[in-house]
Amino acid sequence: MNETRQREAQPSFWTMVVFGIGVLWLFRNFDKIVKAIFYLLRRLWPLAMVGAWLGYLYLLFQRREPPKQATFSEPVGSARSARLELNTSVGETTIRALGADSESLIEADLVYFGSIAFEASGEEEKTVRLNPVFDTWQSLNVFNWLGTKRARLRWDIGLSPRVDTMLDVKGGVGRFDLDLRGLRLRGLNFSAGIGETTLQLPAPEQSYTATIKGGIGAMRIEVPQGAAVRLEATMGLGDVNVAPRLMRVEGEGVPMGKKGVWETADFASAGQQIVIRYEGGIGELQVR
């Protein structure tokens, strides 16, 4: 029985002959085969690209996720001052002052994709950082954004009016509404993203500087009535439109890259001043 199986397993003479002829033919026509393969690739690469994109979209569809909702907060405690670093992402952003009786230094109610990193440290001078954690798959997943009208992406942030605050804000994509009236502002660094921005500055309890970098979209800055204000603006693509009480003291307008300095009449002699340093992007700047 074993001998029979061994005989059946051995290749026959004609099998070896056919195999040898096939190998010789392959070597003889190797260049033609390669040319044929390249010819097919040149002809079929558009279909291959479409297939690859369909596969990629299917993979994204399988890995889609719904928006998340979460709240983050930190108590004032014994803090006398705070430095707040807020990096927003996609969605409508609102920053405002909390009520005077609030015990929170910050309250954030967010609807977002991906993850959020929230850190707080310090006692008398607190530092709080709020940052989105960039997830390439979910941030670039088009299927995540198709159904976001029902669950509106938002960044609603309230800040304490009870402490001296240094505020650093980086914009993402979406409308910005920063109502800082009521805050005890020490200074502001704001980098706009993509979208219209409205910024309302508080009356100064101490002099402060607001350093602003424009993004893409119009920006409207509202300053308190009667405040001593200096505006130093360098524009990108867009015009500067200021209130009549701001008089131009330096610079001349040119079609692109407008640059100038405007001041209220009492700025030089005022004890408490607001200095706005604006570096424009694309869009009009209004100061009222």
At residue 75, does pLDDT exceed 90?
Answer: yes
Higher pLDDT: 49 or 243? It is 243
| Residue 130: HSE in the Cβ half-sphere, 13 Å Cα cutoff | 29
Could you tell me whether strands 104-112 and 115-121 are parallel, antiparallel, or unpaired per DSSP bridges? Answer: unpaired
Q: Is 100 helix (H, G, I), strand (E, B) or coil?
A: coil
At residue 30, does pLDDT exceed 80?
Answer: no
Task: Give the mean pLDDT of 108-127.
Answer: 93
- What's the pLDDT at 89? 85
Provide the residue ranges of all domains of the chain, joining segments of one domain with +: 13-62, 68-287
| pLDDT grade for 53, boundaries at 50, 70 and 90 | low
| pLDDT grade for 49, boundaries at 50, 70 and 90 | confident
Residue 171 CA to its chain's centroid (Å): 6
| pLDDT grade for 1, boundaries at 50, 70 and 90 | very low
Predicted confidence (pLDDT) per residue in 194-228, tens digit: 999 999 999 999 999 999 998 899 999 999 999 99
Dump the DSSP string for 135-187: -HHHHT-HHHHTTTTTS--EEEEEE-SSSEEEEEEE--BS-EEEE-TT-EEEE
Q: Is 55 helix (H, G, I), strand (E, B) or coil?
A: helix
Predicted confidence (pLDDT) per residue in 138-174, tens digit: 555 555 555 545 457 899 999 999 999 999 999 888 8
Neighbours of 272 (CB within 10 A): 12
Dihedral (Cα; 151, 154, 159, 165), 10-degree rounding: 160
- What's the pLDDT at 62? 53
- The percentage of residues in the chain with a pLDDT greater than 70, rounded to a whole number, is 72
Provide the token pair at 116. 């959020």
User: What's the CA gap between 257 and 244, in Å, rounded?
Assistant: 22
CA dihedral sign of residues 194, 197, 203, 207:
positive
At residue 130, does pLDDT exceed 90?
Answer: yes
User: What's the CA gap between 106 and 98, in Å, rounded?
Assistant: 8
- What's the pLDDT at 146? 57
- The percentage of residues in the chain with a pLDDT greater than 90, rounded to a whole number, is 53
Q: Answer whether 276's CB lies under 8 Å from 264's CB.
A: no
Task: Give the mean pLDDT of 78-95.
Answer: 94
Task: Give the mean pLDDT of 89-103.
Answer: 93
- What's the pLDDT at 237? 82
Task: Give the mean pLDDT of 119-147.
Answer: 77
- What's the pLDDT at 4? 46
Predicted confidence (pLDDT) per residue in 226-279, tens digit: 999 999 998 878 888 899 999 998 876 544 447 889 999 999 999 999 999 999
Query: What SS3 string covers 222-281?
Result: ECCCCCEEEEEEECCECCEEECCCCEEEECCCCCCCCEEEEECCCCCCCCCEEEEEEECC
- What's the pLDDT at 240? 87
Task: Give the mean pLDDT of 10-37.
Answer: 67
- What's the pLDDT at 106? 98
Could you tell me whether strands 259-263 and 247-250 are parallel, antiparallel, or unpaired per DSSP bridges? Answer: antiparallel
CA dihedral sign of residues 270, 276, 277, 282:
negative
Residue type, 139: S
Average pLDDT, the chain: 83
Q: Answer whether 184's CB lies under 8 Å from 204's CB.
A: no
Task: Give the mean pLDDT of 104-118.
Answer: 92
Nearest C-alpha neighbor of 79 from the set 182, 166, 206: 166
Q: Which stretch of 33-47, 125-139, 260-274 has the lowest confidence by average pLDDT?
A: 33-47
- What's the pLDDT at 142? 58
